Chains A and B, each alone.
Chain A
C-alpha cells in the first residue's frame, strides 16, 4: 500500500467500495431475492428431525461418466445409502410434475412418507419387498421418510428433482 497525500483524492479502495455499493443496490432492485424464498427457507426449520439417520445420495444417473438420462429419454435413477440400507428411486418427469417409484433394501419400513418443502408429509404405500410408488410431486426438493420396524427413522437427503 503506498502512502497518499490528502490531496490525492479518494483511495482506490474507497472508489471500489463505492462502485460495489452501487452494484449491490442495483442488484437488489434488478434481481432481488424472491420474498417467497425467504419464507420457505424459514419454514425449512420445521422439517428438522432429531435422531433420524440420513441416507446420502451416492449415485445420480443424470450426472457423471455414466450419465444415461438424456433429454427426455428414460427416467432418472437416484441411489441413497446409509450403512447397509439402500433406497433406489426412479424419477420420471411429466411436465412440471414428478413420479417416483423405488425400493427400500436392507431395512423394513412400517411406514413411508414423501415430503416436499412447503407441504405436509404424504403417506406412501410400501409393499413387503420394500417397493413403493408416489406420483404427481411438484418439481423441486423432495425426500423420503421411512419409519423402520426397528423403531428408527431413515431420511433420504433432500434432492431437487
Chain B
C-alpha cells in the first residue's frame, strides 16, 4: 500500500505523508518536482550556482512551511511560485557581484550553457542552438516546458507570472518561431 502511495499518490497525499514524518513521501515529491524547479531557475538565466541556490532554498522553504500549506494538492503551484520569488529576489540583489574577481561572474547573460558539444545527435545540437536564438520570453517559456515530467500549465503560469490561458497559445507561437529557425 505504501509503494502505491509513492508511485501513484497525488501531490497532496505525498505532502500530507511527508508532514506526518514520511521521508520516502518527501523524496517522491523531490523526484517529481526538482526538474521543474531547475527549469524555472534556468529559464531566468541563472548560473548553475545561483540556480542550485534557488532550488535548494525552495525545498528548504517547503520544509519550513509544510504544515501550513493551505492547499496540499496545489503544492506544485506553491513550489513554482516560491522558486519564481527566489529567482526575482536573487536577480534584484545589488550585492551579487561582491565576490572577488577571481571567481566566475554571475552575469545575467550567463544562462544555460549551450553545450551543444555534449549532444552527439546533430539535430539535437541544432535544436539547442536554435533555442538560444529565440526572443527572451519564448526561451523562458520553452525552458520551463522542458521540465520532466511535463508541467501543468497552471504551474508554468505560476512560475512565469503569466495568465494560465495564455500558456497554450504562446507555446504554439514560440514553437512555430523555433521551427522557422531550424
Contacts and interface: CB of A to CB of B under 8 A. Distances in A.
Interface of A: 12, 16, 19-20, 22-31, 33-34, 37-38, 40-42, 44-48, 50, 54, 60, 62-64, 67, 69-72, 76, 93, 95-96, 117, 139-141, 143, 155, 157-160
B56 A42 contact: no
Contact of A30 (B27, B94, B115): B115
Contact of A23 (B55, B63, B95, B131): B131
Interface string B2-26: 0000000000000000100001001
Contacts of A47: 60, 63
A6 to B, nearest CB: 22
Given A69-B95, A93-B95, 11 more contacts: A20-B175, A22-B124, A26-B124, A30-B116, A48-B66, A62-B92, A64-B92, A96-B103, A157-B64, A160-B53, A160-B86
A148 B54 CA distance: 30
B55 A30 contact: no
Contacts of B166: none
Instruction: Classify the interface of chain B: helix, strand, loop or mixed.
Output: helix
A30 B56 contact: no
A138 B90 CA distance: 17
B164 to A, nearest CB: 17
A158 B95 contact: no
A62 B88 CA distance: 12
Contacts, number: 154
A118 to B, nearest CB: 9
Interface of B: 18, 23, 26-27, 30-31, 34-35, 38-39, 42, 48-49, 52-57, 59-67, 86, 89-90, 92-100, 102-103, 112-116, 118-119, 124, 127-128, 131, 142-143, 145-148, 150, 171-172, 175, 178-179
Given A16-B172, A22-B127, A95 B99 contact: yes
B125 to A, nearest CB: 8
A72 B112 CA distance: 26
A157 B60 CA distance: 9
B53 A141 contact: yes
B99 to A, nearest CB: 6
Contact of B99 (A48, A96, A141): A96
A29 B121 CA distance: 11
Nearest to A27: B146
